Structure 1
Amino acid sequence: MDRERLKRAAERLRKPCAEFLRDLCRIPATSNQEGPVVARIKKEMTKVGFDEIRVDKYGNILGRIGKGPRVIACDSHIDTVGVGDPAEWKWDPFRGKYENGVIWARGSSDQRGGMAAMVYAGKLIKDLKLAADCTIWMVGSICEEDSDGIAWLYILKEKVISPEIVIVTEPTNLKIYRGHRGRMEIKVRIPGRSCHGSAPERGDNPITKAAPFLLEIERLNKRLRPHPFLGKGTVCATQIREDGPSQCAVPGAVTVHLDRRLAPGETKNSALREVREALKRAGISKAKVWVPIYREPSWRNTVYPMEQYYPGWCLDADHSLVRISKETYRGVFGRKPIVDKWIFSTNATTITGICGVPAIGFGAGNEDNAHSVKEHMPVDHLVKAMQFYAAFPTVYSQAGGLDKADRRYRA
């Protein structure tokens, strides 16, 4: 690999890549509102010369470079979270600002920056003939913020494409990430008996009944054991909704929403069992516990139900995909990479944790500022990320792909 030639070519794309990212950030699009972003990405993919561009029935956009037998994908989700209270922002969150080589805007880091770097990596691959014997798909996936990996559940189960590996471009601060904890959402409905608020003794107040259960959840969180690499699982109550006719009535039930982060070895069944045991310790015998199903229609009005259980994943340190990624990094940057893990979860919960396709993380930006009013993207990161994505197919091909034992992920 000619490192200097690749670097010079990437530097020439600095300005159009940054301008493309700023354009993407100007388009508000939370989950299931991504249609205008898809249209803007399609326009840019066409401009830089992608060989094929598709929008699948769920609403993901997929751009192809090359036509070799080894199939590689890069993923960037293109929805964002909302802006919260606009008064907390010191600049327009969508128009943003460009200052001292840094783009400040909602979605700049999480995760439109990944998309911009991927599209211009595609141009690098075309211009420098770096596809080798690979087909490279650059995927702008939807609905990640609402339901991690639902887009990839559709892609892989419906055989839209069938990649051997996926590079997840969520922000890693230009480190290589080989895993993260899983997560799941748990609903707990605690029944009571409704009555008029002027005579609460006539009813059975489920809010009061929920109090000892919430304390048991806090105690459970403290007991969860750490994993040596991915860290400790967590559980916390994030919402309580009452089912009552008015503010002057004791409600008939409350529903508690739990956010559960899962370390390796913790499963859906083990997490549900722990919640039921917490209810028992709190003296609550008639409660319903379940994992909700995500059923919201996509921007293309497609409903693809998914249980909101997103398992974690962790490639071994000596996994061949980790090795190839480290070789790519050394070849591009001339130094040893840092290998680490995400704190949050990504589409790899489904890509790897559910569907068994090995994934690796490498992305511009820092996960620490995701979802914050200080979200930003250094343009230097975009230039370096596009170099990594452009170089990867050649290194992957030279390695002969993954080792046979590594071609399917097994927890």
Structure 2
Amino acid sequence: MVKPIPYDAILAQAQRYQPEMTRFLRDMIAIPSESCDEKRVIERIRQEMEKVGFDKIDVDPMGNILGYLGHGPRLLAMDAHIDTVGIGNIKNWQFDPYDGMEDDQLIGGRGSSDQEGGMAAMVYAAKIIKDLGLEDEYTLLVTGTVQEEDCDGLCWQYIIEQSGIRPEFVISTEPTDCQIYRGHRGRMEIRVEVQGVSCHGSAPERGDNAIFKMAPILTGLQELSGKLGNDDFLGKGTLTVSEIFFTSPSRCAVADSCAVSIDRRLTWGESWQNALEEIRALPAVKATKAEVSLYNYERASWTGLVYPTECYFPTWKVEEDHITVKTLSTAYRGLFKQDPVVDKWTFSTNGVSIMGRHGIPVIGFGPGKEPEAHAPNEKTWKDHLVTCAALYAATPLAWLQQLNS
């Protein structure tokens, strides 16, 4: 028999802990933690997990922190990546991105929405669960994962493939504006490279200019971008050229190689194989004998571990009537007495590995808003922390109820 869910008590505790969540989030913001440099923020998270009473805390060989609560037979997980992007041009910030800012409603600073706010709410959801004695019919795993901004999903590839941890479902606490998200497009990082022959710039006819050879390829890519797939829920596939590189002996010489990077977003029904073949089939790519390939990621984590992967991040979605969507919707209605909004992310998350590669259902619900991610003057909302902590605390029992219904 599943315990009844004390929704009012859960919400009251979440409101009570708003100052603690705010303080913890500001502490994390104050620690620069770009990808592969997360050690100090991981240590700070461990301190807070110990304070609120997690039953077990591990840091795995990649550097992810894993906090466990409860000892029941069914495992569910909640995930926040705790690395951030850089600050960009400091002149675009109205406040220090690490000192941050705070008023009655807002918390500002790098990582406030993307995505350390989710970590603060998860940790205090665990505190609420312990306060109210709601554990022990399940095991809850709270993960603070690394390197997501560099290579989304790599952390969970490691957790599932090497640590052998496989929850029945995962809540991603990436920013959703406190809405329920059930999927997003996949992506690929593609390189197209052409070769030329250098010569003195005063007599370019003696060489073979690789930059000129790239020009019709760029035109072909632009045309291809308007012909990609579409899905009623996830939207269109997209393609954009994000970087350009060249080699040349000097500014007075013909370039002897040219390459571009492509950010390719894959909608439902598109495959990584077809995405590469679409580019390889372009007439200019064939004419220039350009090489089309996937990038690989081989950067060491803060612990020194290298876990290489190709830069392909699968598309995924969970159906609207899936038990996990029903679980979060039920908990939301119980807490807030209204129906939730169910939608999708525009950007990519660790769901590319959890659901995309390994088929473990992922549902998104997080504090903050997508447009804050990677932007100057990033901020989140204090009431979002309360809303999310309450929902996270109510979800495990709501899940068990759905399983038993």
Question: Shorter-chain TM-score: what band?
Answer: over 0.9
| Superposed CA RMSD | 1.2
Task: Say whether 1:235 aligns with 2:265.
Answer: no
Aligned to 1:78: 82
Q: Which amino acid aligns with 1:265?
A: G
Alignment of 1:206-217 (within 5 A): 206-217=210-221
Matched, 1:66 2:82: no
Q: Which runs of 4+ in 1 moved over 4 A?
A: none
Q: Does 1:147 align with 2:151?
A: yes
Distance of aligned partners of 1:302 and 1:282 in 2 relative to their CA distance in 1, 3 Å threshold:
closer
Give SS of 1:196's match.
coil
Report the alpha carbon displacement of residue 161 of structure 1 after superposing the two structures with TM: 2.2
1:188-237 per-residue CA deviation (whole Å, 9 max, x = no partner) reads 11111111222211111111111111111111111113210000010010
Q: How many residues align?
A: 401
Residue 220 of structure 1 pairs with residue 236 of structure 2: no
Matched, 1:34 2:41: no
1:399 counterpart residue number: 402
> What is the match of residue 390 of structure 1?
393
Q: 2: CA distance between counterparts of 1:27 and 1:36?
A: 7
CA–CA separation in structure 2 for the residues paired with 1:296 and 1:244:
27
Compared with structure 1, are the counterparts of its residues 66 and 116 closer, same or farther at alpha carbon in structure 2 (3 Å cutoff)?
same
Separation of aligned partners in 2, 1:201 and 1:256: 24
Residue 358 (1) aligns with residue 364 (2): no
**Inter-partner Cα distance in structure 1 for 2:171 and 2:81:** 12
CA deviation string 1:346-367 (max 9, x = no partner): 0000100001111110001111
Confirm whether residue 202 of structure 1 aligns to residue 206 of structure 2: yes
Distance in 1 of aligned mates of 2:35 and 2:164: 20
- The reply to whether residue 169 of structure 1 matches residue 173 of structure 2 is yes
Q: Distance in 2 between matches of 1:354 and 1:59?
A: 21
Question: Which residue in 1 is equivalent to 2:115?
Answer: 111
- Normalised TM-score (structure 1): 0.95
Post-superposition CA distance 1:128-171 (Å, at most 9, x none): 12225110011000000110100000000013522111100000
Q: Describe the shift of the 1:294–1:283 C-alpha distance in structure 2 as closer, same or farther (beyond 3 A).
A: closer
8 Å CA contact retained: 2:30, 2:99: yes
String of CA shifts for 1:228-257, please: whole Å, max 9, x gaps. Answer: 000001001000110222222222111110
SS in 1 for 2:326: helix
TM-score (norm 2): 0.97
The residue number in structure 2 matching 1:190 is: 194
Question: Which amino acid counterpart does residue 294 of structure 1 have in structure 2?
Answer: Y
Match for residue 17 of structure 2? 13
**1:334 corresponds to 2:351:** no
1:317 is displaced (CA, Å) by 1.3
Question: What is the percent sequence identity of the aligned residues?
Answer: 48
Distance 1:374 1:189 in 2: 37
Measure, in 1, the Cα distance between the counterparts of 2:252 and 2:390: 62
Aligned counterpart in structure 1 of residue 383 of structure 2, from 380, 383, 403? 380
Q: Which residue of 2 aligns with 1:407?
A: none
2:213·2:288 contact (CA, 8 Å) conserved in 1?
no
Q: Compute the displacement of 1:281 (Å).
A: 4.1
Q: Deviations over 1:288-345 (max 9, x none)?
A: 1111110000000000001100011011111111111111111121111110000001
Match of 1:318 among 317, 321, 324: 321
